[in-house]
Amino acid sequence: MMEQTTCFHCGNDCNTTVITFNDKPFCCNGCKTVYEIFSENDLTCYYDLENAPGAIPSEIQGKYDFLNQNNIIEKLVEFDDGHTQVATLYIPHIHCSSCIWVLENLNKLNVNIISSQVNFGKKTVRVTYNSEKSSLKETVLLLGSIGYEPYISLDDFNTGKRNVNRSLIYKLGVAGFAFGNVMFLSFPEYFEVGEYWLEQYKHLFRWIMFAFSLPVVFYAGRDYFISAFKGLKAQLLNIDVPIALGIAVLFIRSSIEIMFDLGSGFFDSLTGLVFFLLLGKFFQHKTYNFLSFERDYKSYFPIAVTKITSEGIETPIQVYEIEKGDRLLIRNEELIPVDGILINGKARIDYSFVTGESKSVSKISGDKLFAGGKQTSGVIEMEAIKSVEQSYLTQLWSNDVFNKNKEDRFTTLTNKISKKFTIAVLSIAVLATLFWLFTDASKAINVFTAVLIIACPCAIALSAPFTFGNLLRIFGKQKFYVKNAAVLEQLAHINTIIFDKTGTITSNKKSTATYEGKELSTTEATLLKNTLRGSNHPLSRSLYDILEEHQILTLHHFEEHLGQGIEAKYGDHNMKIGSASFVGSTDTSVLNTTVHISTNNDYKGKFTFYNSYRKGLSKLFNKLKTQYDLVILSGDNNGEEANLKKLLPAKTKLIFNQKPDDKLEYIKYHQSEGANVLMIGDGLNDAGALAQSDVGIAVSENVNVFSPACDAILDASRFKQLDAFIEASKKAVRIIKWSFILSLIYNIIGLYFAVTGQLAPVVAAILMPLSSISIVVFTTIATNIIGRKLK
């Protein structure tokens, strides 16, 4: 008999599942490993599996020999640059916080593992490791040795598709089949038919109903018991506790009745309850999967890349239009949107977006480039070797290193409501049952079960994800791509909007420029065009489009100085393009936006831009001025100040000559004063300000502005609808609050009928999923109405 019945590490009860180590009980492999490795061995690193704590189980020895084959490894890993590999593995045994802690500290077990990130919902771990010193097989064996053997199906890469989990469909089928037959067998009992042959076989019918209930309770309904057990084990009252209790009470009571011939039991209510619960869950899954598919694969993703046609013409296309074999132009600081082969140019790729490591790697012509890398040394040309995976890019975006861990208000609110709701429901059920035991004992069991089933906060839990999920899809269709639901919540609470000027409130397409200075030689004009070709700055893009076509050169050196300008070298010619101070000019003119040029430290002249502001700019600012503090925060000089004062409302703050760090500090200061800041910029040059703001939106105009720093990307053609998108986010919050109220009203009415004994358990089982479905329908219709107003 073990003296201690609680887990030695986490303190949870482990009477049912006990793993013993050094005469100490642990509730799971996670807790055991935490103690064994990280406590007792003082964070010792194990990089040799022979010496790792816990030998490799004999059943997995040799099981993963197929992971020595390069063709299989290539299909399983999602990134491989010859030094680092990244693979996502499905771990069915993830079930608690200790599991997450162990799996996210694999680098302490194997020093060659760089990082590991758990997705608890999908039960996956994304492992990044040094492929020169370790391997995928060694990683898999390590996981197996600590009790987290991954599930790897050869079908996953032979067919190119991941197996679909159909267990819910199978359970729904079993419950539906049993429910139909039990109802059929219950008809004589319902109508109190007294035929001789029915009386003779009545007991047989009841035992057949009992047999039908067994797979319903122990197979179709087992997830409710597992969830409730794990919740109670972790000292949490989740929403499955009252459901599991209701199913258990119905089954035990019905079994006792037929065993002692006290009645026919409630097998019809029991099987009907599980069937309708699963039907509601199936509907929810189908709806949410539809919303996710629409967002990941069908939404407009406002990222443009430059395609080089067979005639050598450079033309912008949308990222989802990329096809295998397309030749793409990737500029400085642009993201590589798809796996490909480097064709031309000097590539220095920063894969921190994928691996978390900021070290850049050099690539030469013929080398493979992976989606998610960022080019950091000028322009390159590559050939796509597959079509783009938009869902992969959005996954990288959602898991990026710029994640600010913003509070998800409604998720927190839902969890609080669910916990208190469950306690209240259990209390009401017990009190109502005690009352009916003394008043009419025949109704007590029905009342107890009906209360547990009818009063469920499922509808409350569904309102936020379905409302925001549908709005994310609608925004995507309207060329406004938002990272996740938390961004929509933040967008609804902003009170200050800060705009960059160049490329944000000005249009790159319509800008014109004039040149003043020394005439450029053919060589200098060609170098100017090719230097601009490598930059993504809005002024660079505008000037590049304005200048005449020239021969394409492979520059010997290219460097972009943030907030100052760009520098390039070809042969004996060194060119600088940017601010007056950057190129060495003493020009102090502030009348217009200017770009200065020097060659070999010899000042040549300047291009003066005449800005074209976006259509509807003045109208947009006038709509926003009543609710928000508006600020223009520009890195340019104040040459446009007079024009902007005529265009914009009087209270708009105009601040010029702001370097990227100045913008970031300005936002940080106002946040400390209580401002909720929305920053709208160009995505690359304003990366720091976008990351610091509560919500950062990058404006896309035929430019690859895909950056982990931004929370949303807005197509330039929809800029004038910015106020409508913000208002739609506010309405979504109101929809969620209304759905909370509707759910509360439903539960009060349902509880009244259940407590007074007027509601049968099977009716409660039908009404419960209907309440969830009604919330889903309400939120979907309401958000669709909002969506129509955006068009």
DSSP 380-428: EEEEESS---HHHHHHHHHT-TT------HHHHHHHHHHHHHHHHHHHH
- Sequence-distant (6+) residues with CB within 8 A of 328 are 305, 306, 307, 308, 322, 337, 338, 340, 381, 382, 383, 384
**According to the model, what pLDDT value does residue 375 have?**
86
CA geometry: angle 591, 595, 599, nearest 5 deg: 135
In angstroms, rounded to a whole number, what is the distance separating the alpha carbons of residues 339 and 327? 12
The DSSP bridge partners found for residue 342 are 382
In angstroms, rounded to a whole number, what is the distance separating the alpha carbons of residues 379 and 382? 10
Domains in the chain, CATH or no CATH each: 1-42 (no CATH), 65-159 (3.30.70.100), 167-287+413-466+731-790 (no CATH), 301-334+338-390 (2.70.150.10), 478-504+615-729 (3.40.50.1000), 507-613 (3.40.1110.10)
**According to the model, what pLDDT value does residue 70 have?**
82
**According to the model, what pLDDT value does residue 654 have?**
92
Please, what's the largest Cα pairwise distance for the chain? 114
**According to the model, what pLDDT value does residue 743 have?**
79
In angstroms, rounded to a whole number, what is the distance separating the alpha carbons of residues 447 and 753? 9
**According to the model, what pLDDT value does residue 1 have?**
39
In angstroms, rounded to a whole number, what is the distance separating the alpha carbons of residues 483 and 293? 15
DSSP for 702-753 reads SS----TT-SEEEEGGGGGGHHHHHHHHHHHHHHHHHHHHHHHHHHHHHHHH
- Beta-sheet pairing, 677-681 with 695-700: parallel
Put simply, whether the predicted model's pTM sits higher than 0.95 gets the answer no
Cβ-contact 101, 164 below 8 angstroms: no
Cβ-contact 446, 761 below 8 angstroms: yes
**According to the model, what pLDDT value does residue 677 have?**
93
- Sequence-distant (6+) residues with CB within 8 A of 516 are 605, 606, 608
Cβ-contact 439, 750 below 8 angstroms: no
In angstroms, rounded to a whole number, what is the distance separating the alpha carbons of residues 48 and 139? 11
In angstroms, rounded to a whole number, what is the distance separating the alpha carbons of residues 20 and 29? 10
In angstroms, rounded to a whole number, what is the distance separating the alpha carbons of residues 528 and 576? 9
Cβ-contact 535, 560 below 8 angstroms: yes
In angstroms, rounded to a whole number, what is the distance separating the alpha carbons of residues 287 and 622? 39
**According to the model, what pLDDT value does residue 620 have?**
93
**According to the model, what pLDDT value does residue 3 have?**
46
- pLDDT, block means (10 residues), the chain with 791 residues: 52 58 63 52 37 50 76 81 84 66 81 81 81 88 80 53 66 91 77 59 85 93 80 65 79 86 78 79 65 52 76 80 88 83 87 70 86 83 79 57 47 58 79 88 78 67 77 85 83 92 78 85 90 83 82 83 86 90 78 84 88 87 92 83 87 87 90 91 74 87 64 87 94 88 81 81 65 79 88 71
Structure tokens at 322: 């990329």
Q: What is the dihedral of CA 457, 462, 468, 473, to 10 degrees?
A: -170
Nearest residue to 46 via CA among 125, 134, 137 = 134
- Sequence-distant (6+) residues with CB within 8 A of 303 are 318, 319, 337, 393, 700, 704, 705, 706, 713
Cβ-contact 238, 422 below 8 angstroms: yes
DSSP for 187-218 reads HHHHHT---HHHHHHHHHHHHHHHHHHHHIII
Cβ-contact 630, 652 below 8 angstroms: yes
HSE-up of residue 595 (Cα within 13 Å, Cβ side):
27
- Sequence-distant (6+) residues with CB within 8 A of 104 are 116, 117, 118, 125
**According to the model, what pLDDT value does residue 382 have?**
92
Spacing of C-alpha 552 from chain mean position: 40
Angle between the 617-624 and 722-755 helix axes, to the nearest 10 degrees? 40
**According to the model, what pLDDT value does residue 43 have?**
35
